[in-house]
Amino acid sequence: MGKRLTATLGFLLIVAICLALGACTVFDQPRFGKLPQGGRLDRIQGSSNYRDGKFQNRIPTPKFSTDVGLASVIWSGFFDKNDRLIPDSLVPVVKTDLKALNPETDAVVWLGHSSWFVQIGGKRILIDPVFSDHAAPFSFMNRAFDGTTIYAAGDMPEIDCLLISHDHWDHLDYSTVLTLRSKVKQVICPLGVGTYFEYWDYPVDTIREGDWWEEIALGKDFSVHVLPARHYSGRLFKENKTLWAGFAIQTPKLRIFFSGDSGYGPHFSEIGDVFRGFDLVLLDCGQYDPRWSYIHMTPEEAARAAQDLGARALIPAHVGRFTIANHPWDEPFKRLTEACQNQSYRLLTPEIGEPVMPDENPSPFFSWWRLKGGTP
């Protein structure tokens, strides 16, 4: 009996060692990135938003708003799924030739989820591009809706600035960033996120990191402002070692705001006051859940945030391409449409790839999710 037990324990030890070595091999792959060190870490430690060894939100923001843990959320994700998490048919898309756009024309093109192509003030900007057909470390996870992966790096013109709001997989996509490298003149990101780009062989002098409320000039009278968001960061096991943010893009003619991933909070009214309103805001309004109500907005909260920001127009973000939360895929569009009734701003709902000309007072788009791939 003693020999059998010893043999069993020895076998289990070997299995455990093999699993540990396998995990180390997997998690040591470049796509997982590296944590900040050296001069980047020194700058992080000098930030007023970094305390007790990690970045902090401006107001208390637990990751989970109830007493559930990560294991419970994962279990629920597998076994307590809602109906209609993905469209019943192909999501309608319009593949605009971005290279053919008049470079002097101001345009915003939603690329699905939280990815955007912005042409403003003669410059071309990409925000959180995910051209992969999945938004996760492995291709079998978090698959894009059928028909929504219509753009690739080859479809992009030369990019003056790549904006990355934080390091989560559905915003910082390793393969996309790699294939874009030769086209990107510079990267602007929150503190610490530049570590990924340096590790992935972007020239160090093209990477510009900012803390909340920092302004980064892109040219005469053209700037990007790194602004607060209410969220968290972490690409693997360690969280909040890099900063998360929203952005304001400001020219003499237009002001555009992108929330990044963010729960509702007083930062929206503060930002609205500082910038005296925005011509267009792109706001997180999908992937909400009562269990993480502090880190993502409901559609109703996004409608309120647009009002706080002094928006002239709102386009929903964090929707329409991936399922992360347990609600019907088209519910955010329906609820946001209702919440934006009789507001001082206009709700715009373009299809993926359909340009919006923010300086031409565009008319609202039709409810495409009700006609194709959704239900009334």
| Residue ranges of domains in the chain, CATH in brackets | 98-371 (3.60.15.10)
Q: Is the pLDDT of residue 124 over 80?
A: yes
Q: Is the pLDDT of residue 78 over 80?
A: no
> What pLDDT does residue 72 have?
61
Q: Is the pLDDT of residue 6 over 80?
A: no
Q: Among 63-72, 79-88, 93-102, 255-264, where is mean pLDDT lowest?
A: 63-72
Q: Among 145-149, 187-191, 266-270, 360-364, where is mean pLDDT lowest?
A: 360-364
> What pLDDT does residue 71 have?
59
| Three-state secondary structure readout of the chain | CHHHHHHHHHHHHHHHHHHHHHHHHHHCCHHHCCCCCHHHHHHHHCCCCEECCEECCCCCCCCCCCCCCHHHHHHHHHHCCCCCCCCCCCCCECCCCHHHCCCCCCEEEECCECCEEEEECCEEEEECCCCCCECCCCCCCCECCCCCCCCCHHHCCCECEEECCCCCCCCCCHHHHHHHHHHECCEEEECCCHHHHHHCCCCHHHEEEECCCEEEEEECCEEEEEECCCCCCCCCCCCCCCCCCEEEEECCCCEEEECCCCCCCCHHHHHHHHHCCECEEEEECCCCCHHHCCCCCCHHHHHHHHHHCCECEEEEECECCCCCCCCCCCHHHHHHHHHCCCCCCEECCCCECCEECHHHCCCCCCCHHHHCCCCC
Q: Is the pLDDT of residue 17 over 50?
A: no
Q: Is the pLDDT of residue 14 over 50?
A: no
Mean pLDDT (the chain, rounded): 89
Whole-structure pTM value: 0.90
Mean pLDDT of 217-223: 93
